[in-house]
Amino acid sequence: MEDIQFEQLYSEVEIYFSNQCKSTQSLCKLLVQNKAISPYAPSLLVNPIAVYCLNQTNGIGQNNNLWHSENGKNLAITFAISIQKHWNLIELNKLLTLSVLLTIQKFSHFPLSVKWPNDIYADNKKLAGILFEIQNFNNQKVAFFGVGINVNQRDFPSNLNAATSLFHLNQIETNIHSVLMSLIENVHIQLQQLNTQSHIHADFQKHLWRLNETITLRIVDGDGFKREQFKLIDVDFEGRILVVNESGDHLKFHHGQAFIDL
């Protein structure tokens, strides 16, 4: 197992730190797996856990894309959360995504939005990436919520010209540890309110990138894709994107069936 150490318990979240790791998502899964087989663990996850790293060398994004991160400039963190039977997983994903947006908004007044399914955008550029996965351990479902936030990175590879950072937005550096603790606190607060928040869907819709505007979708078509333009109107309670074509037909697509082009 890669070098990892327990740091502290904050907002009822166990925080672990690694000086360098390939992926916080993989490292967090391994930590939970070790907890699952440990005879000393009273239960799998007494509290949510968070594994963070400032030098992630092989971060994983949506669709197994690599997440580029400069050493010491950005925040990579993965939460492991024990899922309660009555939780709606789509609402949980939306709620956690909103917790990332609210955290970043604390450190910049620049308008932010959620690009479906759950990336955070500023000025049509990607500021944070989110990965949401579910796995079973000892008959217990665990949500792994990975977050990568571009904090102080100034330069990006030429193939990432649609990326931005808090430094680019604010023109000053931001304390990464402050972002970390604020995110952990926000995740904790949002989880406590999961069962009572009837406005999750409305809040998520309010922050949707390109809501009520024309977007281009790459739609899976056999072994390839076809591109079509639609008006984006919502993301439903199953996580599907809702769009209208030029003929007025309403269509729904799961992530994996269609992707939004910039």
Q: Which helix (H) or strand (E) holds 29?
A: helix 24-37
Q: Are 76 and 53 in contact (CB under 8 A)?
A: yes
Look up residue 36 and give its two tokens.
């699952």
Tell me the pLDDT band of 185, cut-offs 50, 70 and 90.
very high
Structural domains of the chain, count: 2
Pair (128, 12) in one structural domain: yes
For 41, the domain range is 5-206
Here the CATH number for the domain that contains residue 42 is 3.30.930.10
Pair (60, 136) in one structural domain: yes
Pair (116, 192) in one structural domain: yes
Can you give the pLDDT at residue 16? 97
Of the residues 206, 232, 248, the one at which a domain ends:
206
Pair (129, 223) in one structural domain: no
pTM of the model: 0.92
- The 3-state DSSP class for residue 93 equals helix
Pair (130, 220) in one structural domain: no
Mean pLDDT confidence for 60-64: 55
Residue 1 pLDDT > 80, yes or no? no
Pair (248, 167) in one structural domain: no
Mean pLDDT of the chain: 90
Tell me the pLDDT band of 36, cut-offs 50, 70 and 90.
confident
Tens digit of each residue's pLDDT (9 = 90 or more) over 100-137: 999 999 999 999 999 999 999 998 999 999 999 999 98
Of the residues 206, 222, 238, the one at which a domain ends:
206
Pair (113, 188) in one structural domain: yes
CB-neighbour burial class of residue 65 (10 A; exposed 0-12, middle 13-18, buried 19+): exposed
Pair (257, 161) in one structural domain: no
**Of 200, 189, 186, 13, the residue nearest 101 (C-alpha):** 186
Pair (59, 162) in one structural domain: yes
In the chain the first and final C-alpha atoms are separated, in Å, by 38
Can you give the pLDDT at residue 159? 74
Pair (170, 239) in one structural domain: no
Length of the chain measured in residues: 262
Pair (97, 115) in one structural domain: yes
Here the CATH number for the domain that contains residue 256 is 2.30.30.100
Can you give the pLDDT at residue 63? 52
